[in-house]
Amino acid sequence: MSKQIPEVPYKTYLTEDELPKAWYNLRADMKSKPAPLLNPATKQPMTAAELEAVFCSELVSQELDNDTALIPIPGEILDFYKMYRPSPLVRAYFLEKALDTPAKIYYKFEGNNTSGSHKLNSAIAQAYYAKKQGLKGVTTETGAGQWGTALSMACAYVGLDCRVYMVKISYEQKPFRREVMRVYGASVTPSPSMETAVGRAILAAHPGTGGSLGCAISEAVEDAVSHEGYRYVLGSVLNQVLLHQSVLGLEAKAALDKLGVKPDVIIGCAGGGSNLGGLIAPFMGEKLRGEADYRFLAVEPASCPSLTRGRFAYDFCDTGHVCPLAKMYTLGSDFIPSPNHAGGLRYHGMSPVLSELRHQGLLEARAYEQTSVFAAAELFARAEGTLPAPESSHAIKGAIDEALRCRETGEEKTILFGLTGTGYFDLKAYEQFHSGTMTDFIPDDAALEAGFASLP
């Protein structure tokens, strides 16, 4: 066996004492802040009072706080984190060997909990603040189902009703994910549904539609605002979600500091931007403060290329246009990735924080076609053992390409990437890949123009 693990550890864990006790708010160190959310009717910045009709109060204050760098994590949330954190920082020795690269590759693995992804980090925070406010329950949307699962777990823990609108095509294709949510007591409705006015309108206009995230968001928001004691929660995109996900980057940085290692490039997949925003936060903070330099790379699907081909503009966050406007890289709220797209990361927009960083030239972005992403996923699975989620595999593909470049140049770069979750519920997509029925699709400029036409 040539695959021996050298002197430094394969996995690095923090002790409980070393876990972060505060979230890091990257906005505090941004000289040019992300643009505020706007009220779609008045085009004025959303006030806290307006936002509190939809979101929990404490989360609204986190959403609007551009100045406080460190926000203490409440003890109850720290306790919950202890059930599945710290997550390991892994040195991908076996992948390095397989690639024959001089690069050193590390990944932060977030798949070690039942929800199977990083989304639990924010779900517990949002459920905790909702419960603390005395609410009865929360509503949300879920696409592939990871966010809905994470929120169900968090709501079961704090004792809160959880109503999930699940994109209909996923509801039908991923019945197991739906059942996991029901184990934790959530009610799961396929979207679009007849339960909301916006759902009924979308069904009337598009009978037989498989639904979309943007449409499920509209239904979940309508459900929350029309029921006493309910609020809406969202698993990505928003500033508050990136704030909670900073635990990811803080843990990764503390573990690397313990090893005396400084990454050259930090890579994450980008759907709405929460894992990437969380992972890069403390590193980007150092860069913004002039203390250190890093490269940051976002990886997205070529079939939903918001950061690489989108417009930086104010747009609706949802298809039904009930949410505030956000300034972000967007493909337009009418944009829906082609039906052959199986790799996740299908949201039309991107976190305003990441969008602003991209606009300032601080964040690189790259798009890959899905067959190349699944090929990278398999290479990774065979080398490192873990079955990755298709979403995470975009970051794997990005890291592999960086490492292969090092093989050509001989550079011994250190690469850190986020392995956001496991792929056990994505085997339909792997099946398509194996049977050769998976195809690539890159929208042409005319298709993107059609999406941009829906910009307000």
Residue of 20, 86, 271, 349 that binds ligand PLP (CB under 6 A): 271
Count of other CB atoms within 10 angstroms of residue 286: 15
Burial 20-52 (b: 16+ CB within 10 A, else e): beebbbbbbbbeeebbbbbebeeeeebeeebbb
Residue 70, amino acid = L
Are 144 and 429 contacting, i.e. CB atoms less than 8 angstroms apart?
no
Question: Which of 132, 208, 210 has its CA nearest to residue 173?
Answer: 210
Least distance (Å) from ligand PLP to the CB of residue 277? 8
| Residue 121 sits in the site that holds ligand PLP (CB under 6 A) | no
Identify which range of 54-62, 226-234, 273-281, 429-437 contacts ligand PLP by CB under 6 A.
273-281
H or E element, residue 314: strand 311-316
Binding mask 221-260 for ligand PLP (x = CB under 6 A): ---------------x------------------------
| Residue 272 sits in the site that holds ligand PLP (CB under 6 A) | yes
Residue of 20, 210, 349, 421 that binds ligand PLP (CB under 6 A): 421
Residue of 117, 149, 191, 386 that binds ligand PLP (CB under 6 A): 117
Least distance (Å) from ligand PLP to the CB of residue 220? 16
**C-alpha angle 403-404-408 in degrees, rounded to nearest 5:** 115
Least distance (Å) from ligand PLP to the CB of residue 258? 25
| Site size toward ligand PLP, by CB under 6 A | 17
| Residue 270 sits in the site that holds ligand PLP (CB under 6 A) | yes
**C-alpha angle 138-211-424 in degrees, rounded to nearest 5:** 75
Residue of 222, 251, 315, 391 that binds ligand PLP (CB under 6 A): 391
Question: What's the token pair of residue 362?
Answer: 């601080």
| Residue 126 sits in the site that holds ligand PLP (CB under 6 A) | no
Question: Which of 345, 183, 206, 326 has its CA nearest to residue 273?
Answer: 345
CA distance 271 to 117: 13
Q: What are phi and psi of 296, to 5 degrees?
A: -125, 135
Are 422 and 381 contacting, i.e. CB atoms less than 8 angstroms apart?
no
| Residue 426 sits in the site that holds ligand PLP (CB under 6 A) | no
Identify which range of 78-86, 269-277, 301-309, 427-435 contacts ligand PLP by CB under 6 A.
269-277
**C-alpha angle 199-205-211 in degrees, rounded to nearest 5:** 50
Residue of 211, 392, 396, 429 that binds ligand PLP (CB under 6 A): 392
Identify which range of 32-40, 72-80, 216-224, 386-394 contacts ligand PLP by CB under 6 A.
386-394
Residues in 314-373 at the binding interface with ligand PLP, rule: CB under 6 A: 345
Choice between 135 and 354, CB closer to ligand PLP:
354
CA distance 164 to 219: 10
Residue of 62, 121, 146, 319 that binds ligand PLP (CB under 6 A): 146
| Residue 300 sits in the site that holds ligand PLP (CB under 6 A) | no
Least distance (Å) from ligand PLP to the CB of residue 59? 16
Residue of 85, 104, 108, 119 that binds ligand PLP (CB under 6 A): 119
> What are the angstrom distances between the C-alpha of 428 and each of 208, 292, 304?
21, 43, 20
Question: What's the token pair of residue 199?
Answer: 């759902």
Choice between 93 and 107, CB closer to ligand PLP:
107
**Which parts of this chain interact with ligand PLP (CB under 6 A)?**
117, 119, 146, 236, 269-275, 345, 389, 391-392, 420-421
